[in-house]
A and B are shown apart, each in its own frame.
Chain A
């Protein structure tokens, strides 16, 4: 197999690889850190570097005008809801570039910044999990899958905000963040259930094509925008954000910016993709 074929193959499977590589790396990290600390740091940086190269490969192809669709599950498109789609357009490509660069910088910065802390195997595992969650949120075209990645991101980021458990304020900020983001995510799940009950679909494009803008859809729109804006720290619901940004380790604050931007990306998807045909 020559190089061009290999690049084509990687490009074809890159939406799956971008999420899978940090996710698998996250679960290998605790094993590697049994060996040596330096080996672990190099491994984490290499994992994120590999993800970054996949992201740039995918983004360079998407920005020439091809929209990528990656199908998990049945390839037979006549059956309903038995597959999960990853859909990558220019907006997703832009957001995954931002997220992956932020996490790569955060990991490189943590090498010296977190040098004197213990429990760093858990720290790096959580960083990789959070990166996988953010990238998944930005790549997915399925509403329930969006919820799952949102929860992965919020659980790991709340644990990272409270990483310095010897400081009372950090733990308090982490608790505030997990309460806010869990309630937000539960209302997102409630509105996904409203969509599913009406249209028997979970895919964003399918819902957008058959959206009737009924009263229930208006309720779902309000709940989705309120919950995602709360997670993005938009002004009336921003009370958790100064605590979380200020009390987290500085290297985690980079990543928190990426996570809040991913929630903001969710607001754009809801407004312009799902409701774009009826309210604009």
Chain B
């Protein structure tokens, strides 16, 4: 049962993020929601590679015993880097939207053609 806790956390993080993206009306909160979904997916990848009592996969200084699988860690690292790029781009677009409309409320931005 205790080993299911990370997977429950993954589902909880993804659902919380989706709730924030769909129901929140503030653009910054939507961006935070996307970041929370991303954390959930990263946690899922990391959890897949972990076994009980395993050590970090560094071959040259291994004390013996089983190692965690390195491939999901490489995937997670790539995913984190991509996430940073996406986060920076989204926040810069939010800054531009705020300059144009003076608000971050999705009900107030948009409207008729200029």
Residues of A within 8 A of B (CB): 81, 144, 148, 151, 155, 158-159, 162, 165, 167-169, 171-172, 174-175, 178-179, 182-183, 186, 189-190, 193, 196-197, 202
Contact = CB atoms under 8 A, between A and B. Distances in A.
Given A144-B75, A165-B96, A197-B48, A172 B86 contact: no
Contact of A189 (B79, B109, B110): B79
Nearest to B45: A193
B86 A182 contact: yes
A182 B72 contact: no
Contacts of A197: 48
A171 B93 contact: yes
A15 B82 CA distance: 24
A168 B93 CA distance: 10
A255 B96 CA distance: 23
B82 A148 contact: yes
Interface residues of B, number: 31
23 contacts: A144-B78, A151-B85, A155-B82, A155-B85, A168-B97, A168-B114, A169-B113, A169-B114, A171-B93, A171-B97, A172-B97, A172-B110, A178-B86, A183-B21, A186-B34, A186-B37, A186-B41, A190-B14, A190-B41, A190-B44, A196-B45, A196-B48, A197-B48
B71 interface: yes
B16 interface: no
B24 to A, nearest CB: 12
B19 interface: no
Interface of B: 14, 21, 27, 30, 34, 37-38, 41, 44-45, 48, 71-72, 75, 78-79, 82, 85-86, 89-90, 93-94, 96-97, 100-101, 109-110, 113-114
Nearest to A188: B41
B27 A175 contact: yes
A186 B96 contact: no
Given A186-B38, A189-B41, A196-B72, A178 B82 contact: no
Contact of B44 (A171, A179, A193, A202): A193
A193 B90 CA distance: 25
Given A144-B75, A178-B93, A190-B44, A172 B109 contact: yes
Contact of A193 (B27, B30, B41, B93): B41
Nearest to B82: A151
Given A171-B97, A186-B41, A193-B41, A178 B90 contact: yes
Given A162-B96, A169-B114, A196-B48, A178 B89 contact: yes
B17 to A, nearest CB: 9
Given A168-B97, A179-B21, 11 more contacts: A151-B82, A167-B114, A171-B97, A171-B100, A174-B93, A175-B93, A189-B79, A193-B45, A193-B72, A196-B48, A196-B72
Contacts, number: 76
Given A148-B82, A190-B44, A155 B89 contact: yes
Contacts of B86: 151, 155, 178, 182
Contacts of B79: 189
A206 to B, nearest CB: 14
A168 B100 contact: yes
Contacts of B82: 148, 151, 155
B18 to A, nearest CB: 8
* Closest 7 A/B residue pairs (Cβ): A168-B100, A175-B93, A171-B96, A197-B48, A151-B82, A193-B45, A190-B41
